[in-house]
Amino acid sequence: MKTKLITVLLTCATLFTSGAYAADQVRVALLVKALGIGFFEAAYRGAEEASKELGDVKIIYTGPTSTTAEGQIEIINSLIAQRVDAIAVSANDADALVPSLRKAQQRGIKVISWDSGVGKAGRQIHLNPSSNSLIGEMNVQLAADAIKVKGKSSGTFAILSATPTSTNQNIWIGEMKKSLSKFPNLTLVDTVYGDDLADKSFREATALIKNYPDLDVIVAPTTVGILAAAQAVSDMGLTGKVYVTGLGLPSELAGHVHSGAIHSFAIWNPIDLGYSATMLAYNLVKGKGSKTEVPMGRMGTLEVDSNGDGAMAKPFVYDASNVDQFSSIF
């Protein structure tokens, strides 16, 4: 309770000091799940970048000390009291925040959610880091890149997924197959399931390599799978012959990127996410953009669907050149 009170007071304090600025400054509150999380600190860095680019934006970076919806509601109420111009929130609960965010909207505050969304009634736009089709295409693109690294013009890859019943995995795999038409040099030979268990994923990866001696790439769009496959490849001494790629976190994969088992992999970039959220909030305040399209600076234009949802970009690619920079963040 005490810490919450302090958070609220601090928020108020920042708001009062910012009140001293010229009135034509746009004040955007970047409300995160909790303070002290590397991912959100990185998003704040992106928001600061947008603020520098725009010039007339004041970023208020705030959040509760633990990931609770109650903490965020208290902060939203104090933000309303301080009459900020926009709130960009990554929510701890999709429903619990809706009433207070509606109140904010009624007072003329522009509300968007990013990363972790809130119900449609609570915000104008939700910014997804990416979309299923972009993720699917990125995974195939990564396989193509790895084959290029091997110096081959065409090659084969296999997918190592989580459980065969995992919804998002199956959607991504479906999208990967759809985008194969754009990559005529790639052949998908098999899809196997490691159930997100280290031992089963390891075994499945080993079996893939044995069953397909010419296999070039294993694509694992799951964190347990990509790690287990990378370990299997380096244990079998096939680093450089079979590349592993897919979706994973820089902090978890840095070792395998340096060992060479993984050439590159992808996941959202939190800096870009914070940047885009700030740009969106600013443009809504300034009345720029339409119902279906809102510009977001260097990240292009966000296409908003009828639900108010939009996807920022393809997942960001990490390799030996930038993985260390991000591995300390998330």
Helix (H, G, I), strand (E, B) or coil at 186: strand
User: What Rg, from alpha-carbon coordinates, does the chain have?
Assistant: 22
Amino acid of residue 136: G
Name the segment binding other proteins (CB under 8 A); options: 132-140, 150-158, 255-263, 267-275: 255-263
Binding other proteins (rule: CB under 8 A), the pick from 62, 113, 128, 231 is: 231
Distance CA 216, CA 135 (A): 20
Name the segment binding other proteins (CB under 8 A); options: 89-97, 116-124, 172-180, 225-233: 225-233
Q: Which of 222, 229, 226, 244 is nearest to 166 (CA)?
A: 222
Distance CA 263, CA 35 (A): 33
* Minimum CB distance to other proteins smaller for 210 or for 288: 210
Residue 33 lies near other proteins (rule: CB under 8 A) = no
User: In degrees rounded to 5, what are phi and psi of residue 271?
Assistant: -65, -45
Shortest reach from residue 117's CB to other proteins, in Å: 22
User: How many Å from the N-terminal Cα to the C-terminal Cα in the chain?
Assistant: 28
Site for other proteins in 137-176 (CB under 8 A): 163-164
How far is the CA of 102 from the CAs of 15, 107, 114, 229, in angstroms? 21, 9, 16, 46
* Minimum CB distance to other proteins smaller for 187 or for 206: 206
C-alpha triplet 208, 209, 214: angle, nearest 5°:
115
Residue 99 lies near other proteins (rule: CB under 8 A) = no
* Minimum CB distance to other proteins smaller for 204 or for 216: 204
Shortest reach from residue 171's CB to other proteins, in Å: 17
Binding other proteins (rule: CB under 8 A), the pick from 3, 211, 307, 328 is: 211
* Minimum CB distance to other proteins smaller for 201 or for 283: 201
Site for other proteins in 190-209 (CB under 8 A): 190, 192-193, 196-200, 202-204, 206-208
Residue 210 lies near other proteins (rule: CB under 8 A) = yes
Residue with tokens 């990185």: 42
Pairing between strand 264-267 and 316-319? antiparallel
Q: Which residues bind other proteins (CB under 8 A)?
A: 163-164, 190, 192-193, 196-200, 202-204, 206-208, 210-211, 224, 227-228, 231, 235, 251-256, 258
